[in-house]
Amino acid sequence: MTSPRPSWWPSWPPAPPTTSCSRSTTCWSACASAPCWSRSRATSCPASPTSTRSSARGSPPTTRSTPSPTFWGTTGIGYDSDHVEAPTSWKALFDPRHAGKISVIDSKGDVFDQALLAAGMDINSTDKPAIRERVYPMLRAQKELLRAYDSNPARALAAGDTWIAQIDSGDLFRAQKQRPSLRYVIPEEGAVLWIDYLAIPATAPLPGVAVRFIDFLLDPEIAALNANALRFATPNLAAVQRGLVADAGDPALYPSAETRKKLLVSENWFGETEAVVDELWLELRRA
């Protein structure tokens, strides 16, 4: 399954820098593309997004800021290998055998993403009848099996309250410190890729200070310290090439080229399907 990729989708692996952001550059496409991923200095970009995470919930805004990718990762399945066999599909989150021990992220987009994938549909499907008639009944049935819609699935997995959950990659790996039996998998249908950015709003009172702080965070040694502590993947190429990133060889955090073909970016939650998904989400939560 593949999904159309927006113009800012980075190449794999990141290429050496061949361009820099400037006032004449459309920085959303330039700074989020491979060349700027490997840069070591922050640059003030006047026409770029202010959002701190781009995952998938719509088109990036165009307000003035300095976008600098700081982390990236995937949203997949975390599970306790002491209680659950390694899942291969998103259908595992709909399995009655795990009733009362399942959670999905308490977010409209995440909930519908996992159901669309489990239904064998593209997460960018605009087939509103199918979303209503195929996906929504699955979500109603799943709700009866859930322990919770959970905004902090790592805590429940570490405590043993949940055995299998939709979760962001780094959150699962940090939870492993408390419960070593926890594992992470990108299901065969694929998973959502997200990117965290630092950005400076146009109205920031001290933009120069903010740029210097971003420069500090983009230093390879600092980027590696943060990646090693938070267990999210870093887009800082120099940190990886210098061997500073402890998890750089872990395919669950830095997926192989083959797995990366299955990473998806959802684009329609603020587009053609917004109204129907909002309606069904509210109905689901009321049910």
pLDDT, tens only, 79-97? 999 999 999 999 999 999 9
- What is the full DSSP assignment across 19-47? ----TTS-HHHHHTSHHHHT-SS----SS
The yes-or-no verdict on residue 33 having pLDDT over 90 is no
CA distance 269 to 160: 33
pLDDT band at 66 (very low <50, low <70, confident <90, very high): low
Asked whether the predicted pLDDT for residue 60 surpasses 80, the reply is no
pLDDT surpassing 90 at residue 223: yes
Using one digit for the tens of pLDDT, what is the confidence trace for 138-154?
999 999 999 999 999 99
Domain locations in the chain as residue ranges:
27-72+192-252, 75-191+264-286
pLDDT at position 227 over 60: yes
Q: What average pLDDT does the structure give for the chain?
A: 80
75-191+264-286 is a CATH 3.40.190.10 domain: yes
SS3 267: coil
Q: What is the pLDDT of residue 55?
A: 46
pLDDT beyond 60 at 45: no
